[in-house]
């Protein structure tokens, strides 16, 4: 897996904000990684973000409902300790190997190709404080759109899917060719999610329609800034 990202060298000046619970937002439960047995530890809740990030997310929800009153933001995942990142990288790698008919414990060029592809979507589980995985900072959130009853809307690809289908603009060409197609519907929903998140300061991961962050190294890189606001944060700093 690729160990460095374009944003990995950006300095972090952590503002010391605590993690706070996600409130008044739809949570997609049971939490997918907890269900797999990911090692969050006792009383560690993944549905938490830095206070400033949570405040912006609440504003994004307001912006969404100004545009589509029957839509809601639905949270898939938020804060993620490095141990969980390692667990999920291993899980995603094994799944991708099996999808390609490879022994997950094998080695060679085909397995290296799997590592590179998984690495486009999953950050390395680095313990280096200068290069934390985005979700370990409490600044990144994976989310989608839901209807008024909290049911997730079809977005043309599952969260965490490995491959081009996950790129934000995957359906753009098909949408232009046929504005009445399902592809156009999915593209429109992806763009709506991006707009309401970006207008309150979030940036989008270049490979993932569902991943947005504010204040981490990825955010600083996409904004052309020389420092990030949030570094890795552990369970002892939980609040609420």
Catalytic residues: 208
Residue 123 included in any domain: yes
Q: What is the pTM of this model?
A: 0.94
**Residue 237 pLDDT:** 44
**Residue 37 pLDDT:** 94
| Overall number of domains in the chain | 1
> Which domain covers residue 108, as residue numbers?
19-237
Q: Which residue has the tokens 């890189």?
A: 221
**Residue 43 pLDDT:** 66
Backbone angles phi, psi at 140, to 5 degrees: -115, 145
Distance CA 30, CA 21 (A): 16
**Residue 238 pLDDT:** 43
> If 0-12 CB within 10 Å is exposed, 13-18 middle and 19+ buried, where does residue 231 land?
buried
**Residue 97 pLDDT:** 96
Distance CA 124, CA 118 (A): 10
Helix (H, G, I), strand (E, B) or coil at 150: coil
**Residue 240 pLDDT:** 40
Residue 173 included in any domain: yes
| CATH code for the domain in which residue 112 is found | 3.30.1380.10
Which residue stretches of the chain have pLDDT < 70?
1-4, 43, 235-240
Residue 100 included in any domain: yes
Residue 48 included in any domain: yes
């Amino acid at each position: 897996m690729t160990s460095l990202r374009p944003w990995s060298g950006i300095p972090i000046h952590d503002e010391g904000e605590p993690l706070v619970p996600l409130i008044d937002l739809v949570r997609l439960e049971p939490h997918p990684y907890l269900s797999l047995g990911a090692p969050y530890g006792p009383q560690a809740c993944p549905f938490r973000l830095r206070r400033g990030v949570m405040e912006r997310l609440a504003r994004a929800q307001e912006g969404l409902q100004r545009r589509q009153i029957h839509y809601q933001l639905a949270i898939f995942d938020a804060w993620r300790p490095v141990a969980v990142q390692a667990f999920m990288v291993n899980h995603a790698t094994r799944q991708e190997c099996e999808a390609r008919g490879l022994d997950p414990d094998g080695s060679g060029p085909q397995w290296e190709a799997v590592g590179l592809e998984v690495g486009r979507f999953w950050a390395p589980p680095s313990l280096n404080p200068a290069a934390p995985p985005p979700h370990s900072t409490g600044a990144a959130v994976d989310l989608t759109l839901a209807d008024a009853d909290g049911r997730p809307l079809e977005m043309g690809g599952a969260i965490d899917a490995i491959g081009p289908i996950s790129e934000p603009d995957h359906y753009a060409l098909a949408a232009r060719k046929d504005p009445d197609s399902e592809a156009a519907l999915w593209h429109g929903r992806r763009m709506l999610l991006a707009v309401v998140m970006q207008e309150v300061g979030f940036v989008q991961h270049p490979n993932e329609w569902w991943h947005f962050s504010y204040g981490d190294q990825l955010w600083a890189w996409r904004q052309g800034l020389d420092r990030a606001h949030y570094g890795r944060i552990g369970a002892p700093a939980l609040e609420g």
